[in-house]
Structure 1
């Protein structure tokens, strides 16, 4: 279809003629309502942005000598992250001579995961990296 015929058809329909692929031979154009097209694109971008945030990785740090009340507060915060759809990285950090007792860190991290087992799935097994022991969990 020639350019003038396409423009006339667009005018008659009350919409716009939009060039899709100018480098093609012949160039490709589409008859669409430009305002409606822009609105749909904006909605798709907002939806993608909203879905992108949901998979954010949150982090919660624990020391070996954490008190039971502090542990409960942190567990409550982890549960709220999981309800929002975030993944959570639980990090045990070792200070000084605590590195000689890594088994205490594994026990504590297992205790934390056992308390979260109803709401969470283990995504990454315990990994020791430097002075940190970590696991990654996500909501069921």
Structure 2
């Protein structure tokens, strides 16, 4: 069973040249002890073979390309480990929505603000909007006051990502959590 071209693993897309696949006539070689120098490709390949290791092209865009004498399997393992660590560290931020009407009552406002506070504390962005239906569109000032009060209530743990503005029959604002100090 073959893998479709658009679903090949990331390792396949970041094709790394090893040994005879390297095309540059001269390369900068870093050996396992950390010594480095510029050599002809044949000399670099011979050095790698003498140590029973591979010549792996690490920085192909450098002039001359940087190659390392290392076991290719070990190199791939380390690269996969680094990618996994980066994926673990990257955090996906979700957008949570809070909906108000132009005549939202005080209790409902406090209840929804409490939910927004929980969303922001868990690192998510919050989109708050006032939905105007029918003739309620004449109460835009009520909607603006509501969103300003909402922003003020959450100002201790959020910053304004997008100030309140009209989008069709909705008045929308987006709040993002402050950066955590770790």
TM-score range, shorter chain: 0.7 to 0.9
**Alignment map for 1:103-118 (pairs within 5 Å):** 103-118=141-156
Q: Which has the higher contact order (CA 8 A, sep 6+)?
A: 1
- The question of 1:51 aligning with 2:97 is answered no
TM-score normalized by structure 2? 0.59
Q: Is the 8 A contact 2:130 2:171 kept in 1?
A: yes
Unaligned runs of 5+ in 2: 1-38
Which of 133, 136, 140 aligns to 2:171? It is: 133
Structure-2 residue corresponding to 1:87: 125
What TM-score, normalized to structure 1?
A: 0.72
The one of 99, 103, 110 equivalent to 1:61 is: 99
Normalized per residue, the structure richer in helix is 1
RMSD over aligned CA atoms reads 3.2
**Where does the alignment leave 5 or more consecutive residues of structure 1 unmatched?**
none
- Residue 9 of structure 1 corresponds to 47
Deviations 1:52-85 (A, max 9, x none): 514x443322223434444334323322322233
